[in-house]
Structure 1
Amino acid sequence: MRTPVTLRQLEFLVALDDSRHFGRAAEAIHVTQSTLSAGLKELETTLGATLAERDRRHVAMTPLGAALAVRARSILRDVEGLVEQAATESDPLAGMLRLGAASTIGPYVFPALVGGLGARFPRLRLRLQEGLSDDLRAGLRDGGLDAAIVALPYDMGDAETRALIDDGYLLACPKDHPLANRDEIDGGDLTDRPLLLLERGHCLQRHALSAFGDEALRQDAAYEATSLPTLAAMVAARAGVTLLPEIAVRAGVAEGHDLALIPIRGAHPRRIALAWRRGAARSAAFEALASACAEILRAGQRP
């Protein structure tokens, strides 16, 4: 009788496929390299096939190994979902929840959410991850994330979304800039002023350029930033002007820089929303999570 394949062996296979390195794979799942290697060898013996080709420096998955790793991920997700469904029958917001957020949102909402959600759902354990919106959408689709905080409008495929807050913009400019002493500005004040913005791939870059609908704004092609703190620093260095999201300003992204922050009239805000897989077993829990997140973040918007 053939020895059965174990879930632990499938976890070893997925870890190796993810890292293509025995040491990093072992570290990722908190086992020794020898344990991982032995477990994979046992799996290969059980299946009667080679799943990975090894030498001293490299690991290459065989076609069968790569294909089985895809199936193993699905099996492990199903098992995890089974365990979570049982554990959350009496308390839907208990246990581990993998929550992602866009990198222009996460640093400015995670601190409030961790404290606020912890007080409301003491049995909830959050595993937080930041990334680009494309990566978050893929994480939801592939099961790497349970839910994600994203900025709309953005095509989230068939994911469910619930609005949390609207996030407007402030113009950030040096204090000696011609617009610095204005009480507020509108889109017309920006049409001939190229904006310092994030690099392409960030939703905020697209949202900022479309903040006034048909009144197109222009990005300064000479520079693309990788983060909002970098943008604030470049404006302070008189490299140009930018639009900063209100949640980032409230969280202190402009602190330490000699900047003027000017309200903008008529700009379309981006909508911060919680997204999750349509038909997820914990959909009712995500609805409750969205309500709690909205309450926490709206409280942070009040003066």
Structure 2
Amino acid sequence: MNTLNPQATALSLKQLGYLLAVAETLNFTRAAELCFVTQSTLSGGIAELERTLGVQLVERDRQRVALTPVGVEVAQRAQSILSASRDLVTRAQMAADPASGEFRLGVIPTIAPFILGDLLGCVKNQLPDLVLRVRESQTAALLQELEQGALDAAIIALPIELGKLQAFTLFEEKLRLVAHKNDPMCKGGPVALREVDTRRMLLLEKGHCLRDHTVSACSASQRDTESGENSLVEASSLNTMVQLVNSGLGCALLPDMAIKAGLLNNTEVQIVGLRSPVPSRQIALVTRRSHPKLNFIDRVLCPMFKGDHAN
């Protein structure tokens, strides 16, 4: 296959979706499941796409499935095409009323449990025609889904590299140092973060942005915290980390919203006073600059999502 079919301009978005599923799974069976079609339908769609473009996109035999170099390039471009097509559909459907229809929101795990209840209730009361669908995942996955058009916006913590995405800052949140009540740090007055032995600092597992924020905040104390490799214990969630601190295994930096929500209740974990500067993170709503509801996100959703945290 080396000549461009003159009908290549009539590309099928469905076939491009099939290609992205194959690129993600490198398995025709799982790709078909992702697309809710039979394997034969997906294989036929890929073959038709290859005939339309006049190039081979996928190498497959009984042992392996792989994209050809041109297949990789087409898949990358397909992500942008499908994202733009979703935005186009949304723009057409919501032109009359941006506060109606479906809005897909991603939230990171260190924020979701502490704001979603109030947020969903607020949207239901103030925007009854807006169907808010929420997905909880780590930052990198949410940003990828945003770029691909699978999400409309995401609530994440800054700083982080956003590429072409646009961030609307919602509020700044302090990070609180916590330790077991018998820890020497809980016996005296406020301490400086640089005085904390960072080898005792517990971290979330890799992929959580709070891990990066903790490492960044502590980097002035000891250079070996820059990667967090010296942490002996890594937690999968804030709840697990609090229990580790409660067991006397170390100290941790926790989001202020988590503590206000009662994360330390029924434990012997206490807040350790910190001298200025107190570490913090910026909570932001991130979306695509091309999103058809950009003004609605900025003027309606952002003020609503700030809630009682904006102070």
Task: Please indicate, yes or no, whether the TM-score normalized by the shorter chain is above 0.5.
Answer: yes
Equivalence for 2:309: 298
Is 1:249–2:264 an aligned residue pair?
no
Please show how residues 140-289 of structure 1 align to structure 2 within 5 Å: 140-180=146-186, 185-187=190-192, 191-194=195-198, 195-199=201-205, 202-208=208-214, 221-225=230-234, 226-264=236-274, 266=276, 267-287=278-298, 288-289=300-301
Q: Structure 1 residues 67-76 or 217-226, which shifts more?
A: 217-226
Q: Structure 1 residues 62-71 or 259-268, which shifts more?
A: 259-268
Does the 8 A contact of 1:196 with 1:231 survive in 2? yes
Residues 190-213 of structure 1 deviation map (CA, whole Å, 9 limit, x = unaligned): 614332233565432343455599
State the 1:146 CA deviation.
Answer: 2.7
Is 1:96–2:102 an aligned residue pair?
yes
Q: In 2, Cα distance between the equivalents of 1:78 and 1:153?
A: 27
Equivalence for 1:108: 114
State the 1:25 CA deviation.
Answer: 1.1
Aligned partner of 1:298: which letter? H
The structure 2 residue matched to 1:19, chosen from 25, 29, 45, is 25
Does the residue aligned with 2:154 lie in a helix, a strand or coil? strand
Q: What TM-score do you get using the length of structure 2 for normalisation?
A: 0.79
Give the direction of change, closer, same or farther, for the CA distance of 1:170–1:33 in structure 2 (3 Å limit). same
Aligned partner of 1:289: which letter? L
State the 1:155 CA deviation.
Answer: 3.9
Unaligned stretches of 5+ in structure 1? none
Unaligned stretches of 5+ in structure 2? 1-5
Residues 29-76 of structure 1 deviation map (CA, whole Å, 9 limit, x = unaligned): 222223222322333344444322222342212233322222322222
State the 1:283 CA deviation.
Answer: 1.1
Does the residue aligned with 2:124 lie in a helix, a strand or coil? helix
Does the residue aligned with 2:286 lie in a helix, a strand or coil? strand
- Superposed CA RMSD in Å reads 3.3
Does the 8 A contact of 2:87 with 2:149 survive in 1? no
Does the 8 A contact of 2:103 with 2:132 survive in 1? yes
Does the residue aligned with 1:170 lie in a helix, a strand or coil? strand
Q: In 1, Cα distance between the equivalents of 2:165 and 2:68?
A: 33
The structure 1 residue matched to 2:135, chosen from 112, 125, 128, is 128
Q: In 1, Cα distance between the equivalents of 2:253 and 2:56?
A: 54
Q: In 1, Cα distance between the equivalents of 2:283 and 2:260?
A: 15
Q: In 2, Cα distance between the equivalents of 1:210 and 1:42?
A: 50
How many residue pairs get aligned? The number is 296
Does the 8 A contact of 1:187 with 1:212 survive in 2? no
